[in-house]
Amino acid sequence: MNRLYAIGEVLIDFIPLQKGCALKDVRSFERAPGGAPANVAAAVAKYGASAHVLTKLGRDAFGDFLLEELHNAGVDTTHVKRTDEANTGLAFVSLKDNGERDFSFYRKPSADLLLSENEIDAALFQTGDILHFGSVDLVDSPMKQAHRKAIRAVKETGGLVSFDPNVRLPLWNDAEDCRRAILEFLPKAHLVKISDEELAFITGIEDEETAILSLFRGDVQAVVYTRGAHGAELYTANGSYTAPGFKVDAQDTTGAGDAFVGGMLFHLLQKEASPSNLTSLLDEHHAEILRFANASGALTTTNKGAISALPDKAAVEALMHFQNT
């Protein structure tokens, strides 16, 4: 069976129990397993495909917790490394009244950033596998090199590369460093997912369509543009397709984008997507794939957290059945 490999950060989000106050004033937090690559892998595993994470955790209690959570979500943790040299990454979050979030990251460096290229086994990848990554672990570190090696290795086997920039500015020295890293790695991907909040920042272009089309560079064959409650648009070399969002009672949008990507990659694994058939697969099956991904993202907003909020496949299919968007 074709497998997903998600490389990057696996960390704990400490979510505030008090809303509407600054981070310094939050008194208590609830722990939630997170990190975008972990969320995407958990979604793919939950829908029934094989999903691995490539990361490093501290040899500490938080690392033990994350390993257990990934395992419970059905993610294969065989290739997760552990280290004594750094602690597992933590992110403390505060929720302001207007829904905006403040973050304080504990990673100077965190264990995930220490995964080195020597720890990526190029022989791991087989034809039909998909590699997914984001930008959070593209800061200067051994992990950045590990990304380069994994991307090269999966491409050598004819596998597909998927990228979600997932901009987190507080992690960077300045915004320009973040944009530069994203623009360096984006052309290495075949499929790019980008949200409406990131597009102008990454491209520097205000007009939406011009900005999206500017992302077709290097190996990029498809761009999926997510628009929160409004759903998503997919662009390929042959045109664009729109899929409206599902109407749900959104409580917490954490992980919606990851659940969307997970839903999409699950379908692409099932359909044995590769760089040579990606465009034609998306042109042919865009409606089914976008509907599933939108329903996956929508249902994730109806519960708190990311991995803990993921629906199962039956729930996604039920929403698609009962709500004809």
Q: By the criterion CB under 6 A, which residues form the site for ligand ADP?
A: 195, 197, 226-229, 231-232, 245-246, 248, 250, 253, 256-257, 260, 294, 297-298, 301
Biggest alpha carbon distance in the chain? Answer: 52
Task: Please say which residue, 159 or 311, places its beta carbon nearer to ligand ADP.
Answer: 311
Say how far apart CA 147 and CA 98 lie, in whole Å.
Answer: 35
Task: Please say which residue, 21 or 250, places its beta carbon nearer to ligand ADP.
Answer: 250
Smallest gap from residue 61 Cβ to ligand ADP (A): 29
Smallest gap from residue 247 Cβ to ligand ADP (A): 7
Smallest gap from residue 211 Cβ to ligand ADP (A): 15
Smallest gap from residue 54 Cβ to ligand ADP (A): 21
Task: Please say which residue, 129 or 137, places its beta carbon nearer to ligand ADP.
Answer: 137
Give the residues across from 272 on adjacent strands: none
Task: Please say which residue, 187 or 244, places its beta carbon nearer to ligand ADP.
Answer: 244
Say how far apart CA 85 and CA 58 lie, in whole Å.
Answer: 8
- Residue 24: CB atoms within 10 A of its CB come to 8
Query: Which amino acid, 235?
Result: Y
Smallest gap from residue 155 Cβ to ligand ADP (A): 25
Angle ∠(247,250,254) on CA atoms, nearest 5:
125
Give the residues across from 132 on adjacent strands: 6, 162
Task: Please say which residue, 250 or 320, places its beta carbon nearer to ligand ADP.
Answer: 250
Residue 277 DSSP class: T
For residue 248 the two structure tokens come to 């749900």
Smallest gap from residue 260 Cβ to ligand ADP (A): 4
Three-state DSSP state, 312 = coil
Residue 76 DSSP class: B
Smallest gap from residue 272 Cβ to ligand ADP (A): 24
Task: Please say which residue, 11 or 80, places its beta carbon nearer to ligand ADP.
Answer: 11
The answer to whether the CB of 49 falls within 8 A of the CB of 3 is yes
Burial class (CB within 10 angstroms; exposed 0-12, middle 13-18, buried 19+) of 295 = buried
Three-state DSSP state, 233 = strand
Using CB positions, name the residue nearest to ligand ADP: 257
Task: Please say which residue, 13 or 129, places its beta carbon nearer to ligand ADP.
Answer: 13
